[in-house]
Amino acid sequence: MRVTFLPANRTVEFELENLPYAEHGRERSILDVALNFGIDLEHACGGACACTTCHVVIRKGEEFLSAMEDDEADKLDSAADLTLHSRLGCQATIIAAGEIVVEIPGWNRNIG
């Protein structure tokens, strides 16, 4: 499995079945991957699908992610800079191995 986080252009590789669960968001979620590899992705609600701070844009590999559920779609309706490829990092889970490219929007990058 290969996930690249933009704009940092940081790529992480791992075996999907061996990714430890960091208990933020759903298991094998984009948020879970980010936290496992020390990539900062805001998640004010702790990954409970109660906010939009982990909003990301999937630039490649949507076919390797779970389908969006109604709760996630409802939350995303209030997200800034919503695109057709927007997902909540805590809810978008990796369901098959492949290559995924994720962009963390500029307003959502924690520089501090």
Instruction: Say what the pLDDT of residue 109 is.
Output: 55
Query: Residue 38: is its pLDDT beyond 70?
Result: yes
Copy the structure tokens of residue 94.
Answer: 């990796």
| The model scores a pTM over 0.85 | yes
Domain 2-108, architecture per CATH? Roll (3.10)
Q: Is the separation of the CB atoms in 18 and 28 below 8 Å?
A: no
Q: For residue 8, is pLDDT > 70?
A: yes
Taking only the tens place, the pLDDT of each residue in 55-92 is 999 999 999 999 999 999 999 999 999 999 999 999 99
Give me the residue spans of the domains in the chain.
2-108
Q: What is the CA radius of gyration of the chain?
A: 12
